[in-house]
Copies of this chain bind each other. A is one copy, B any other.
Amino acid sequence: MTGRLIGVGLGPGDPDLMTLKAARAIAAAPVVAYPALPGTDSFARRIAADLIAPSAHEIVIEVPMTKAREPAQTAYDLGADRIASALEAGQDVAVLCEGDPFFYGSFMYLHARLAGRFETIVIPGITSVSAASAALGQPLVARNDTLAVLAGPMASADMAARIKAAEAVAILKVGRHVGRIRDVLSSLGLLEKARYIERATLEEERILPLSKAPDPAPYFSMILVAKGSDPWL
């Protein structure tokens, strides 16, 4: 009997925003795996720290942040091999994943390598988009509104067209694109409706007008645009 691969969504960072199912899966896991930047503590492990059994075996997948994809892919190859060994030995492996595993989650790289060979369970997590709108106290979508989730590197003209078409917009992976995104929103007359938030639900959470956002923005930051004006009243 092989073990089960369990992709555990941890939510945005506040450990209390883990689901009951995620908390139980972590506590029960004989093996826990998670990514970490080389030489640093794993953010995923930090979220789950209080739940990991003292006897659990931990597999750290050191994933370098490089522009080229190969080093990261090699790291996931090696990590998948180590996880496969545990699964083949009959042990369940809980893979810790910030946010939601299938919403820009690192778990997908392991899922692609292992789900075909082992029983796989995915426990969804609170996305950064839900966390950010809750932290802002700003409703995102109601009734028949549409939502566009976009990535910062997207070309400006394409970004502008999609922002125009949707009632609500979440722009992730802002990084060094923050100034250009601000220009796009400004040209659409939407600067007032855009809000910048970084590290939602963590102690270091910051909410700023987009004009005051740092440039470059940190990795865990987002711009939310809500264009509807209380249409549900």
A interface residues with partner B (beta carbon < 8 Å): 9, 11, 14-21, 23-24, 73, 100-104, 108-109, 111-112, 115, 120, 122-127, 130-131, 133-134, 137-151, 153-154, 158, 161-162, 165-166, 173, 230, 232-233
In the complex, the chain B residue whose C-beta lies closest to that of A151 is B144
Known interface pairs A11-B19, A17-B123, A112-B233; 4 further A-B residue pairs with C-beta atoms within 8 A, sorted by A's residue number: A15-B20, A17-B21, A112-B230, A112-B232
Partner of A19, one of B16, B133, B138, B143: B16
Nearest CB of B to A61, in Å:
14
Contacts of A133 in B (CB 8 A): 102-103, 122, 124
Cα–Cα distance between A111 and B131 once the two chains are bound (Å):
17
Cα–Cα distance between A127 and B11 once the two chains are bound (Å):
12
Contacts of A141 in B (CB 8 A): 102-104, 149
* Cβ A124 vs Cβ B123 within 8 A: no
* Cβ A20 vs Cβ B9 within 8 A: no
Nearest CB of B to A168, in Å:
9
Q: Which 5 A-B pairs have the closest CB atoms?
A: A124-B130, A144-B151, A16-B21, A147-B149, A122-B134
In the complex, the chain B residue whose C-beta lies closest to that of A153 is B144
Nearest CB of B to A158, in Å:
8
Cα–Cα distance between A107 and B14 once the two chains are bound (Å):
22
* Cβ B148 vs Cβ A146 within 8 A: yes
